[in-house]
Amino acid sequence: MGFLLRLHDRRLAWAGLAVMAALVIAIGSLTPGTEMPDSLPWDKANHFIGYAGLAGLVGLAGISARPAFIGVVAYGVAIEFAQLPVPGRMGGDPWDILANTLGVLLGLVVLALLRRYLLGGGAR
């Protein structure tokens, strides 16, 4: 338990990882479609998994659930609309935004459950 708590409390490291994850999402999302691999797994799963991970990292960085949810969802919406001028990208897709939002929700729920059951609920 002590190891998990020490790992959990490294908020600056989690914040750095969250920034890196956000950059990876931005680069992947804003790369022109012609420069992307021809075959990627299901697009919505990529959105869901990527944003679940980002939300979990933001939560581990010490941001409470509500601001983390709002911030990461807003980031996802901003990225979607930033895709509009990118060649070969649709951008502004409401299904992508939904997948992002559901991923954020799952990431934060999983983090809350892990905190509750592994750390006794005391860690935020």
Q: What is the pLDDT of residues 5-42, one digit of tens each?
A: 777 789 999 999 999 999 999 999 999 977 776 666 67
Contact 51, 107 (CB under 8 A): yes
Side chain identity, residue 124 = R
Tell me if 23 is assigned to some domain: yes
Tell me if 124 is assigned to some domain: no
Residues 6 or more apart from 114 whose CB is under 8 A from it? none
Tell me if 11 is assigned to some domain: yes
Q: What is the pLDDT of residue 49?
A: 96
**pLDDT exceeds cutoff 60 at 60:** yes
Tell me if 123 is assigned to some domain: no
How confident is residue 91, by pLDDT bands cut at 50, 70 and 90? confident
Tell me if 104 is assigned to some domain: yes
Tell me if 46 is assigned to some domain: yes
Q: What is the DSSP letter of 61?
A: T
* Enclosing domain of residue 113: 2-31+40-118
Count the domains in the chain.
Answer: 1
3-state secondary structure 10-41: CHHHHHHHHHHHHHHHHHHHHCCHHHCCCCCC
Residue 6 host element (H or E): helix 2-8
Tell me if 45 is assigned to some domain: yes
Question: What mean pLDDT value characterizes the chain?
Answer: 89
Tell me if 109 is assigned to some domain: yes
**Closest Cα to residue 36, out of 75, 76, 112, 90?**
90
**Cα 106 from Cα 99, distance rounded (Å):** 10
